[in-house]
């Protein structure tokens, strides 16, 4: 196999750093990384300068940089996300991009989505600025590039490098340190939680096969928030201190049909939450 030149933007965020650390030991990959410290994507001239030093030969780009919808899902978030992808696309030589992998968001399907379980063919109906920014970014990428493009839509990801920002890692940290967990509306809402190693495996496959696909990466097995807490309690053999509150908002469930993922990678076995929790707690806290 020929060596693949891969640029990860940003390689300092949780998923980007996890991909970078995993891929750097692969002799078939020649890695580059950009982040807010060495490339200001909101500034066209700085973006162009940074990319011109790297894109001198055929290259695969994995784009993860984003401004999230929390704490404020407003026009500023939309404008920043669209500006970043626009500056990037206007700074590259399209002929040298052999593959583009864009981390989008399941927010494109709406909050709440029109139908569950969510499939990739579900009409995109973003009802927030963040989701809209991802929808526009996807469209711009498809309009400008002729290489294989993979669009990744994904729910909450957790792993050892997430700095306790994921719900999963946050709950584990709080329980280990005897802190209270806040649960809204009795924790009955359904969510799908994806272990980072599943993401790494799927992205590697997409790179190696130069896939051109829009794909939801999920487990297909959503669980209630309170059941997530119960699963952590069992592994830690420790009771959570829970502060139950009413959110005042209408809650909604999210679940995914992962047939397209399994058709793409037939031997893929999603890491279900119990196994992911055990692996994370063992690796991060040396807890057995």
CATH number for 175: 3.90.25.10
180 three-state secondary structure: strand
- pLDDT surpasses 70 at 63: yes
Do 229 and 142 share a structural domain? no
Report the mean per-residue pLDDT for the chain: 95
Do 85 and 72 share a structural domain? yes
pLDDT in tens, 89-98: 999 999 999 9
- pLDDT surpasses 60 at 137: yes
Q: In this structure, what token pair is assigned to residue 142?
A: 């498809």
pLDDT in tens, 231-246: 999 999 999 999 999 9
Quote the number of domains for the chain. 2
pLDDT given for residue 167 in this prediction? 95
pLDDT given for residue 283 in this prediction? 86
Question: What contacts 216, CB < 8 A, 6 or more positions away?
Answer: 106, 118, 119, 120, 153, 154, 256, 258, 260, 261
User: Which residue among 129, 153, 177 closes a domain?
Assistant: 153
Q: In this structure, what token pair is assigned to residue 212?
A: 């051109």
Do 139 and 58 share a structural domain? yes
Do 183 and 133 share a structural domain? no
Do 236 and 161 share a structural domain? yes
Residue listed under structure tokens 């965020």: 13
Residue 82 lies in a domain: yes
273-285 and 167-176 helices cross at what angle (nearest 10)?
50
- pLDDT surpasses 70 at 288: no
Confidence of residue 54 (pLDDT cuts 50, 70, 90): very high
Pairing verdict, β 241-245 and 180-184: parallel
Q: In this structure, what token pair is assigned to residue 284?
A: 């991060």
Confidence of residue 192 (pLDDT cuts 50, 70, 90): very high
Do 36 and 163 share a structural domain? no
Do 100 and 8 share a structural domain? yes
Q: In this structure, what token pair is assigned to residue 238?
A: 């420790």
Do 175 and 130 share a structural domain? no
Confidence of residue 71 (pLDDT cuts 50, 70, 90): confident
Confidence of residue 183 (pLDDT cuts 50, 70, 90): very high
- pLDDT surpasses 90 at 284: no
Do 249 and 142 share a structural domain? no
- pLDDT surpasses 70 at 272: yes
Residue 55 lies in a domain: yes
Do 233 and 148 share a structural domain? no
pLDDT given for residue 1 in this prediction? 57
pLDDT given for residue 2 in this prediction? 78
CA distances from 4 to 45, 62, 205 (A): 27, 12, 13
Averaged pLDDT for residues 136-140: 97
- pLDDT surpasses 90 at 285: no
pLDDT given for residue 182 in this prediction? 94
Residue 72 lies in a domain: yes
170 three-state secondary structure: helix
pLDDT in tens, 88-135: 999 999 999 999 999 999 999 999 998 999 999 998 989 999 999 999
227: containing domain:
157-190+221-254+271-285
């Amino acid at each position: 196999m020929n060596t693949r030149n891969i640029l990860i933007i940003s390689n300092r965020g949780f998923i980007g750093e996890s991909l970078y650390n995993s891929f750097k030991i692969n002799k078939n990959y020649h890695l580059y990384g950009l982040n807010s410290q060495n490339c200001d994507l909101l500034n066209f001239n700085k973006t162009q300068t940074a990319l011109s030093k790297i894109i001198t030969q055929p290259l695969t780009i994995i784009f993860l940089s984003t401004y999230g919808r929390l704490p404020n899902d407003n026009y500023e978030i939309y404008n920043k996300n669209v500006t970043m992808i626009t500056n990037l696309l206007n700074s590259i030589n399209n002929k040298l991009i052999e593959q583009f992998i864009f981390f989008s968001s399941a927010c494109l399907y709406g909050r709440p989505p029109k139908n569950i379980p969510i499939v990739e063919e579900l009409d995109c109906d973003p009802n927030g600025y963040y989701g809209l920014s991802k929808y526009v970014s996807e469209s711009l990428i498809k309009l400008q590039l002729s290489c294989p493009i993979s669009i990744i839509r994904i729910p909450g990801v957790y792993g050892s490098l997430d700095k306790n920002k994921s719900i999963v890692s946050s709950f584990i940290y709080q329980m280990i340190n005897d802190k209270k967990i806040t649960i809204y509306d009795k924790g009955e809402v359904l969510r799908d939680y994806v272990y980072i190693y599943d993401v790494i495996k799927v992205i590697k496959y997409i790179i190696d096969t130069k896939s051109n696909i829009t794909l939801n990466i999920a487990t297909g097995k959503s669980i209630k928030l309170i059941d997530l807490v119960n699963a952590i309690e069992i592994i830690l053999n420790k009771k959570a201190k829970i502060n139950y509150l009413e959110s005042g908002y209408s809650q909604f469930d999210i679940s995914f049909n992962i047939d397209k993922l399994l058709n793409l990678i037939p031997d893929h076995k999603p890491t279900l939450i119990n196994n992911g929790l055990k692996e994370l707690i063992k690796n991060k806290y040396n807890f057995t």
